[in-house]
Structure 1
């Protein structure tokens, strides 16, 4: 996320380590030493605190925050502008580390989480890109809830914070991006739905009180951030040139959903500039959009060291003090790092920023901590106070990690129904490849210490006799041991090849240069398949996609699976799918392009739409019409699902009388474009699409029903766009009715070149599977 730049982070942590108090979040003693942590407003330990207004839980949060800010000196206030916040002992406030991570499990990256003998690890769920492939909102929310339970349990024993800088809701725009693995994929609808579900899972309390938070989530990295380190382009200095249409149509929707629909507690601004302005110093993006338009109830935090980057790397300001002042005045509340703490006082003295602006920033930070109960004393006496080490790595959470991996795994090829393998006919199995016995690779980045690992080899060997050979000495696979690998393949009944990448190939600050399997992996796959006497299953473990056209067209490779980075239980899930204990239902959340695509498309070109004059092909399934290896939404099952349209209108008429919310002085009618609809999300004509979905196969399975639309070809609208999706699970010959509500103004509008959303009049084509239904909209 934005807490990157690891060496700089470590320097920031070490520079303040002498100031950090022993308390609930940052225990300074060795992990095996028991101590009494200090909590803010711990009246039982210090009765005098009862007289402070900010410690009175019966007061409204706003009054408590005002009281607290009023008691602080300017120097103390500045200490609360940074991620390693100093304590104020005279007010009974301990130090606080804001930086904790929970991308797909409680992580010890950052200063807020420590593992110890008491809690040696936490449940490591699949990396985000694989969970997104499940297209299952309830699963995503369940994972968020499990992660927040483990986080609260660790907080109660002094091992974790309450503010978690997750999820990553950037669009996976380019297949080479090393951090694409952290995202829900390339589609704004899926990414928005994932964001809302995960944020609610993290934040919502069992009582449902919107003024309380279980933990505080953070949507990052705002905005148009999806280049890390590609050739001579680096995120610290990259200026993302983004037109307003792409901004409002593609990059902003997930962040808007986070704030408006999920009530997220925080948004993190990114390293890059957008159209010449650093995102963390852009008042239009921060105060204008996040605060005024979307009404953020929480705080805005920088990516780690971003304020320093504004001055040091981007040279956007002449002095450090200017960088601090500009970021605070733009709407930044918290600096991940120490830069603002070092230079804010001089910025105030120089008249670049006044104390009231600092008051406003720290008030947003304190208000979030109030909602978390940080100022309510001993957490063991609060909601969730009964949680502890017993609630981390529970059997239920570990089983959920296995289920999430199973639901995400995507079956891309299965010639002649070669999968699932039958243990009764497959007595010996060759398990070959650099990821065949993977552990750490399975959990991707922003990881913690898992409860335990089950590798692919262990999972497969638990069912049949399996023999392992790595094939390559490492993931780069500069040399492949073809002789040993092919000999093993020729001597067994079936072969499973575990290929792909790890964090040495795709990672934060490391983008790929091509879409080929690393080194000699392709040669290894081809030669093993040629030598094999039985079925050959190719499983790709990765964050991004590959050009595996060679395998797709190789008749000897009977099946292909994409298993993402499947988390701590990845080996169990892979074996469950391969041996048919689980029927795969995952769908690709991103396009798999041929290598030729990236040879002509620079990562630095942010345009989503194609440009015929230059030959630029456009990006993602929404705008790219060229050749693909596998398409967004691809994914097979061991059974067959049929769709039948039950109900959908052929004509929708909008009556725009004076009271209609789309009717104003701004309404326009251009060609086949209807009224400009600024309030598109607030209402408009609705209709329902009903489908009958039937499992026509011979085994139970889960299926994602996608509702796409192709709007009229106006304002360079998308080729098609995902409106809704629904996950259903059906037994043999079972059927169900799936209903989608469609809001004309919100769902069937398009964004024009200057960012206005308008109702597209004329013919829309609705797609569900192979079904196509024509719908006409008129005013």
Structure 2
């Protein structure tokens, strides 16, 4: 969004006058009077707007109103695990699912606090750099994602805090408290609970899905985290989901939006649609005939901001046609301006301490240190047969193998920012062992196949009009229309920009297109394979013939073309590319495909002292609405939860060396690894660990950090364990209702030391105090995640439910008493109307380092019961 140039010099925005009382005499606008309440100022401001101005403020790209000195503002920003997609360098923490694995509310609160500070610095710096009003520099963050990760096939489950309502609510609340701060007047930043509600895939059909869970599951599984954040933590915003709920789009749902959100929960913050969700009303759900009908209905249901499109502009006509009253428009616009006032956007910087946050907080030492600490905390040790781990630093040779060993994309996850430095596992191991230990690297396989493109250095074979490289043309639209905004010669086609980052001249890194042209002269007769990798749409032409067409959205999608070559012949290569949203990435590489010989690889590595295999999956395969069609994957989701077959085959070959094999699994979701769980001696689940993932993993592998992460999701043994993906009932889903035997259960995780539990005591009647003694009985200092589970009577009651957790540190040989408070409200089940049911009978209570009935390095949880 362009900002009117004169806005930078008007006294309304700078200098001592700003918005304070001194301006009152000059302008006479009560909304500029800081002595008045925010509510009175908002009432005055909105009362001065025309209908057209009000409606324009209800788009995520809210334009400036120069006559009143109102700057432009874009509501769209993300802070999933650090400020995302910003043009500035930031600290990147582990992906949300990894942060959930820490089971540490204090740690996630600190992460959110640090991220809010970096967000403030970005907002302040953006104003100084002339970026005010652009996307991804604002203070309204559409995070956290507190949907329940009910099915491991969902590609966006990595953005959540897992499958449990209580864990999700506690981690989400801690995040909101850290992000929004505790200033009595101003918000540090504005959090937003999404996606409301009952939204967790499949990705390819999310714009047309109509979900109808049972009312019991709605109240007991899908809504508790939202209720916690809205009624107890006072989250500033809510995002309504794409899908329909009981035949009404979520953003226009009577039950969700009016009955529950606004009436029962008394939510008075703002609601944004998910991006393009209003268009879904009339284009996909077909519940409304026109944009005008859809927009009016969404606003009447309390959806204040439309993201992504401009259907809301039809609200002007809707008011004139009598579909909605202007006073209803006022309600939404007032909510929006109230948030901006609470963020201090209309007050002098001297009054808002956050407005003085310097750019020096970006990637500050404490922030980077916490990113490393959280990465360590998130790592889950799944298997450690015969104490293969930790490895000795005195080994002479270590082999590091696999598609995630040196994959920076995997460790950064999705919805991420860009740090100044990213440490992959390969780099982390090299840094850990130093120059005296030989570290050899073999990628060996891709995620789903064993045929690798061996890249060749062909830079000197690309030329354009006598100069080496590519002729690049950049357009300020996504369709290569008109004249290019700028042109230049680029030595290679290897570009990666954050959205909003300056590409060339005035062109920013979103909503643009580009054409890259070069003449490639073959050195040999034979063939050359070209790999084109881009985030969004692209085409590849050879001598004017289109050989790859992926012009529809293709995030993280790489495709190849084999060109038969004749020595001395020149071929005209053209890459056309467009970028709509998100990061911009376009790369062209060349080489030859070679199939890996597993037996030969194992022979080469048999003299290594240990083999570390880094596999699993990555955000290149799972994520939001992606065009990925590799075996086992579809549209961002997974069609199978099994580790891709080629990786198991490679691990089987590595196992024949007779050397210790350590499987480091990176993933944002549960992976079924039945063979590995039986035969690979050491398995570490490292998620997508953020900028310091490689350092953290190496710390765990070599014993400088004792792992204590716990699984926030169930790791099932096979696809057969899963109900249908589109079935939103909770029957046989998650640890709370799954009646089978998981490979690794929710809450599971091992340590390099051992713990024991004794003296479980329950006191109280209406409010229960539960105490237990925890002892580190091993020979290492370590951390333990103490977990409290209850089983309550009831026909539809969960098998067990997490009701408390604490992450504690214990020196070897030391003990500590851990105490939990459990209220009747926590024990209650809700009926089909969301009301607590009266429970009668015995409540089972178990406390330990895992679920009851599971023996780990924490021993077996201790149990007792109380009678209601």
TM-score range, shorter chain: 0.7 to 0.9
Q: Distance in 1 between matches of 2:3 and 2:706?
A: 51
Q: Distance in 2 between matches of 1:730 and 1:182?
A: 31
1:394 aligns with 2:336: no
Shift of 1:534: 2.5
- What root-mean-square deviation, in Å, do the aligned CA atoms of Structure 1 and Structure 2 show? 2.0
The answer (yes or no) to whether the contact 1:221–1:268 under 8 Å persists in 2 is yes
TM-score (norm 2): 0.77
The answer (yes or no) to whether the contact 2:11–2:17 under 8 Å persists in 1 is no
> Could you give the per-residue CA deviations for residues 601-634 of structure 1, whole angstroms, max 9, x where no partner exists?
211000102xxxxxxxx10000011121111011
Q: In structure 2, the residue corresponding to 1:462 is in which secondary structure? A: helix
Shift of 1:287: 2.7
1:288 aligns with 2:259: yes
1:604 aligns with 2:726: yes
The answer (yes or no) to whether the contact 2:291–2:312 under 8 Å persists in 1 is no
User: Which of 181, 200, 205 is matched with 1:226 structurally?
Assistant: 200
What's 2:414 paired with? Answer: 445
Q: In structure 1, the residue corresponding to 2:696 is in which secondary structure? A: helix
Comparing 467-476 with 716-725, greater Cα deviation is found at 467-476
Q: Do the aligned partners of residues 373 and 567 (structure 1) sit closer, same or farther apart at CA in structure 2, a change above 3 Å counting?
A: same
1:567 aligns with 2:690: yes
User: Which of 599, 607, 613 is matched with 1:491 structurally?
Assistant: 607
Q: Distance in 2 between matches of 1:290 and 1:44?
A: 40
What's 2:742 paired with? Answer: 628
Q: Do the aligned partners of residues 314 and 22 (structure 1) sit closer, same or farther apart at CA in structure 2, a change above 3 Å counting?
A: farther
1:544 aligns with 2:625: no
> Could you give the per-residue CA deviations for residues 342-399 of structure 1, whole angstroms, max 9, x where no partner exists?
311111121111100100001111111111001114x466312332221100111011
Q: In structure 2, the residue corresponding to 1:576 is in which secondary structure? A: helix
Q: Do the aligned partners of residues 217 and 98 (structure 1) sit closer, same or farther apart at CA in structure 2, a change above 3 Å counting?
A: same
Q: Unaligned regions of 5+ residues in structure 1, if any? A: 1-16, 25-34, 610-617, 654-684
User: Which of 427, 433, 448 is matched with 2:402 structurally?
Assistant: 433
The answer (yes or no) to whether the contact 1:43–1:49 under 8 Å persists in 2 is no
> Could you give the per-residue CA deviations for residues 385-444 of structure 1, whole angstroms, max 9, x where no partner exists?
3322211001110110000010010000000111001112x2210000000012121111
Any residues of structure 2 matched to 1:2-401 within 5 Å, and which? Answer: 17=1, 20-21=3-4, 44=17, 47=23, 50-108=27-85, 113=86, 115=87, 120-158=88-126, 160-205=137-182, 208-209=183-184, 211-229=185-203, 234-377=205-348, 379=349, 382-401=352-371
What's 2:387 paired with? Answer: 417
User: Which of 497, 502, 505 is matched with 2:618 structurally?
Assistant: 502
Q: Distance in 1 between matches of 2:806 and 2:112?
A: 19
Q: Do the aligned partners of residues 63 and 521 (structure 1) sit closer, same or farther apart at CA in structure 2, a change above 3 Å counting?
A: same
The answer (yes or no) to whether the contact 1:283–1:331 under 8 Å persists in 2 is no
Q: In structure 2, the residue corresponding to 1:403 is in which secondary structure? A: helix
Q: Do the aligned partners of residues 354 and 550 (structure 1) sit closer, same or farther apart at CA in structure 2, a change above 3 Å counting?
A: same
User: Which of 780, 794, 800 is matched with 1:720 structurally?
Assistant: 800
Q: In structure 1, the residue corresponding to 2:637 is in which secondary structure? A: coil
User: Which of 761, 773, 776 is matched with 2:863 structurally?
Assistant: 773
Q: In structure 1, the residue corresponding to 2:837 is in which secondary structure? A: strand
The answer (yes or no) to whether the contact 1:692–1:737 under 8 Å persists in 2 is yes
1:534 aligns with 2:534: no
Which protein is richer in strand relative to its size?
Answer: 2
Q: Do the aligned partners of residues 283 and 339 (structure 1) sit closer, same or farther apart at CA in structure 2, a change above 3 Å counting?
A: farther
Shift of 1:461: 1.1
Comparing 284-293 with 501-510, greater Cα deviation is found at 284-293
List 4+ stretches of structure 1 deviating above 2 A.
19-24, 35-51, 337-342, 379-382, 473-481, 594-598, 751-756, 769-778
Any residues of structure 2 matched to 1:684-763 within 5 Å, and which? Answer: 685-712=766-793, 714-743=794-823, 745-763=824-842
The answer (yes or no) to whether the contact 1:749–1:758 under 8 Å persists in 2 is yes
Shift of 1:449: 1.0
